[in-house]
Amino acid sequence: MGCCYSSESETTEQDVNERKPLIDPNQDRKPTNGMERNTDSLPSNRTDEQALLTVILQRTAQNIIDVSAVDSQGMEQHEYMDRARQYSTKLEVLSRTLSQKKPVPLPSLTSQPHQVLAADLVPFTDVQQVSKIAAYAYSAISQIKVDAKEELVVQFAIP
Amino acid sequence: EGALEQYLDDTMKNPSIVGVLCTDAQGHNLGCRGSLSDEHGGVVSVLARQAASLTKDPTDSPTVCLESDCGNILVRTHGTITVAVHKMAS
């Protein structure tokens, strides 16, 4: 939701601590994809390119939150309570600092809606007048046409 | 377009009419006078189009009336153009 998403854009020291994965990524664990197996089979003399690739790989592996992790470390009750308390205090701090955005008020047509609603209806003569105006305007517009004054395509006289 | 301009001027001669605007189906302003100007073209054309979708009869063109304490704005489509008239309550 909103709070969780905003923490991604601003990685402060506090947030890094929060986003630390529960499971130590350096541990040997059965990978869900073949990525980690491939890094083990690389030759021992790595080129710069391979080192770069490995760095990218490690960074991705650290950032991925694997919800289908096979051997998730179980947490003890007191540790769980401690963490829950930690998270809730951090959330309180964040929610206090988040600014409340006021919605822009819509423009209003009148300050006295009752008066306008209770007033007389638009007279039918007005409606008829407007449809007459519209019809005349339509016929006037259909009279707009291009007035050809001179030739559009001319021949150049090349001596 | 002289005929249209002339007709808009004639319409404005009516004392209770303070604004008139003609747009095409896309909201492009074809001519305006008085209190209605270019920026109202888009809104007017969209209002008329949405109102037309209220009725299934394609020949029945509705007149949209915006009532306020500073006059009424009546919007009507005719063929390919939409005309809006700002009229003071008499």
Model pLDDT, residue A16 = 57
- Higher-scoring residue by pLDDT: B87, A105: B87
Model pLDDT, residue A2 = 42
Counting one residue from A and one from B, how many pairs have CB atoms under 8 Å apart?
74
ipTM over 0.90: no
Model pLDDT, residue B32 = 86
pLDDT at residue A39 is higher than 80: no
Strand partners, B67: B72
Report the residue from A110, A116, A143 with minimal CB separation from B3.
A143
Given a contact cutoff of 8 angstroms between Cβ atoms, the answer to whether B86 and B19 are in contact is yes
Model pLDDT, residue B6 = 87
If one counts every other C-beta atom within 10 angstroms of the C-beta of residue B66, the result is 15
B18 touching chain A per CB within 8 A: no
pLDDT at residue A152 is higher than 70: yes
Cα A23 to its chain centre, rounded Å, is 29
How far is the C-alpha of B73 from the C-alpha of B18, rounded, in Å?
10
pLDDT mean across residues, chain A: 71
B23 touching chain A per CB within 8 A: no
Shortest CA gap A153–chain B (Å) = 25
CA dihedral A77, A83, A89, A91 (to 10 degrees): -120
Shortest CA gap A74–chain B (Å) = 59
Encoded tokens for A101: 């955005």
Encoded tokens for A44: 């021992």
| DSSP character string of B40-59 | HHHHHHHHHHHHHTT-S-TT
Assessment of whether the complete model's pTM goes beyond 0.80: no
Model pLDDT, residue A33 = 47
pLDDT at residue A68 is higher than 80: no
pLDDT 10s per residue in chain B (90 long)? 788 888 888 888 888 888 889 998 888 888 888 888 888 888 888 988 888 888 877 777 888 888 887 788 888 888 888 888 888 876
Model pLDDT, residue A69 = 67
Model pLDDT, residue A59 = 92
pLDDT at residue A32 is higher than 80: no
| DSSP character string of chain A | -HHHHHHHH---HHHHHHTS-SS-TTS----SSTHHHHHHTS-SS--HHHHHHHHHHHHHHHH---TT-SSPPP--HHHHHHHHHHHHHHHHHHHHHSPPPPPPPPP-S-S-HHHHHHSPPPPHHHHHHHHHHHHHHHHHHHT------S-SS------
Q: What's the pLDDT tens digit per position in A56-66?
A: 999 998 888 77
Buried b (16+ CB within 10 A) or exposed e, A54-86: eeeeeeebeeeeeeeeeeeeeeeeeeeeeeeee
CA dihedral A24, A28, A33, A39 (to 10 degrees): 110
pLDDT at residue A111 is higher than 80: no
How far is the C-alpha of A136 from the C-alpha of B14, rounded, in Å?
15
When pLDDT is cut at 50, 70 and 90, the band that residue A29 belongs to is very low
Given a contact cutoff of 8 angstroms between Cβ atoms, the answer to whether A47 and A55 are in contact is no
Report the residue from B3, B30, B83 with minimal CB separation from A134.
B83
Best of A109, A121, A130 to mutate (most B CBs within 10 Å, chain B):
A130
Q: Do B69 and A126 touch (CB under 8 A)?
A: no
Query: If you ran DSSP here, which 8-state letter would residue B5 be given?
Result: H
When pLDDT is cut at 50, 70 and 90, the band that residue A23 belongs to is very low
